[in-house]
Amino acid sequence: GAGVSQSPSNKVTEKGKDVELRCDPISGHTALYWYRQSLGQGLEFLIYFQGNSAPDKSGLPSDRFSAERTGGSVSTLTIQRTQQEDSAVYLCASSLGDRGRSGYTFGSGTRLTVV
């Protein structure tokens, strides 16, 4: 597609429920990244994919968080047993995998609210 698409744009869930956030990167972009943006916390790196592999998942906050990417395209970030501190905007970005020389493009994000 023309840009990075994320769905849903907004998600309200009850504490303890599981949620899935979806990212559809730009066609041909081999690298995909998930970030979390919380109030007063800036942009926090979660995980990076090159193709379907995740060479760097160092930013995942706990084992409740997982992500996968299939077909070198769509990625899903899953949060199990959501907690209130998981409330944030989850941003996805994609690039050609050249450290950003050709640019990282961000989606509009999914705003997750855990009540």
Partner 1 sequence: AQSVTQLGSHVSVSEGALVLLRCNYSSSVPPYLFWYVQYPNQGLQLLLKYTSAATLVKGINGFEAEFKKSETSFHLTKPSAHMSDAAEYFCAVSSRGFQKLVFGTGTRLLVSP
- Residue 1 interacts with partner 1 (CB under 8 A): yes or no: no
Among 48, 60, 90, 114, binds partner 1 (CB under 8 A): 48
Among 7, 13, 38, 50, binds partner 1 (CB under 8 A): 50
* Total residues binding partner 1 (CB under 8 A): 23
47: β partners: 34
Q: Residue 85: phi, psi to the nearest 5?
A: -70, -5
- Residue 65 interacts with partner 1 (CB under 8 A): yes or no: no
Closer by beta carbon to partner 1, 38 or else 80:
38
Piece of 19-27, 67-75, 77-85, 104-112 that binds partner 1 (CB under 8 A): 104-112
Q: Helix/strand/coil (H, E, C) string of the chain?
A: CCCCEEECCEEEECCCCCEEEEEECCCCCCEEEEEEEECCCEEEEEEEEECCEEEECCCCCCCCEEEEECCCCCEEEEECCCCHHHCEEEEEEEECCCCCCCCCEECCCEEEEEC
Q: Which residues bind partner 1 (CB under 8 A)?
A: 31, 33, 35, 42-43, 45, 48, 50, 55-56, 91, 93, 97, 99-101, 103-109
